[in-house]
Amino acid sequence: MSLTPTGRLFGTDLVLTRTFRAPVADVWASVTDPERTARWFGPWEGEAGPGRTIKVQMVQEEGKPWMDMTIEACEEPSRLVLSAGDEGDRWLLELALSEAQGVTELRFTQHLSSTGAVGEVGPGWEFYLDVLVASRDGEPVPVFGDYYPAMKEYFEAQR
């Protein structure tokens, strides 16, 4: 299977978008409701809110590990900012949603500290966002091997 990567690097911001023929509130639920996030990324538990830390399970990863994520900002239904990891390897993720004429765009941004690992990170987020699309459309989960290493060169060429 040959997939076309869509992500773009703007400085140290890795940006990927997906569009959905659905109201913004429905797409917001897909990225915030633990039962719905379980379908594509993983369930989460804890008390959600800005400044709070939740536990998220990464069900597409080997061993399905749990990780702490801090909710940096939550502006329902248009913006969610999360951070994870430790000082040397901190992830800052931003999801922005906007709706026009019944179509919602999800703009996913990972604010990278450097572009050194973009060849691995980019294909990973392409995969996860396509799993989100598949989960909403009732389609089978994509195969990660179709994304990495196939898309690595595309992302590295943007550095």
| Mean pLDDT along residues 102-115 | 97
Q: How far apart are the first and last CA of the chain?
A: 26
Residue 21 domain boundaries = 8-156
Say if 78 falls within a structural domain.
Answer: yes
Residue 1 lies in a domain: no
Per-residue confidence (pLDDT) for residue 105, from 0 to 100: 98
| pLDDT interval class at 86 (50, 70, 90) | confident
Nearest CA-CA partner of 96 in 18, 153, 3, 154 = 18
Residue 41 lies in a domain: yes
Q: Considering its fold, how many domains does the chain have in total?
A: 1
Q: Does 49 map to a domain?
A: yes
User: In the chain, what percentage of residues exceed pLDDT 70?
Assistant: 99
Overall average pLDDT of the 55-79 stretch? 96
Q: What is the per-residue pLDDT for 89?
A: 81
Q: Label each residue of the chain as H, E or C.
A: CCCCCCCEEECCEEEEEEEECCCHHHHHHHHHCHHHHCCCCCCEECCCCCCCEEEEECCCCCCCCEEEEEEEEEECCCEEEEEECCHHHCEEEEEEEEEECCEEEEEEEEECCCCCCHHHHHHHHHHHHHHHHHHHHCCCCCCHHHCCCCCHHHHHCCC
Residue 2 is assigned to a structural domain of this protein? no
> For residue 3, is it within any domain?
no
- Could you tell me the pLDDT band of residue 87, with boundaries at 50, 70 and 90? confident
**Does residue 111 fall inside a structural domain?**
yes
- What CATH number is associated with residue 30? 3.30.530.20
pTM for the model: 0.95
Answer whether residue 1 shows pLDDT above 90. Answer: no
Residue 69 lies in a domain: yes
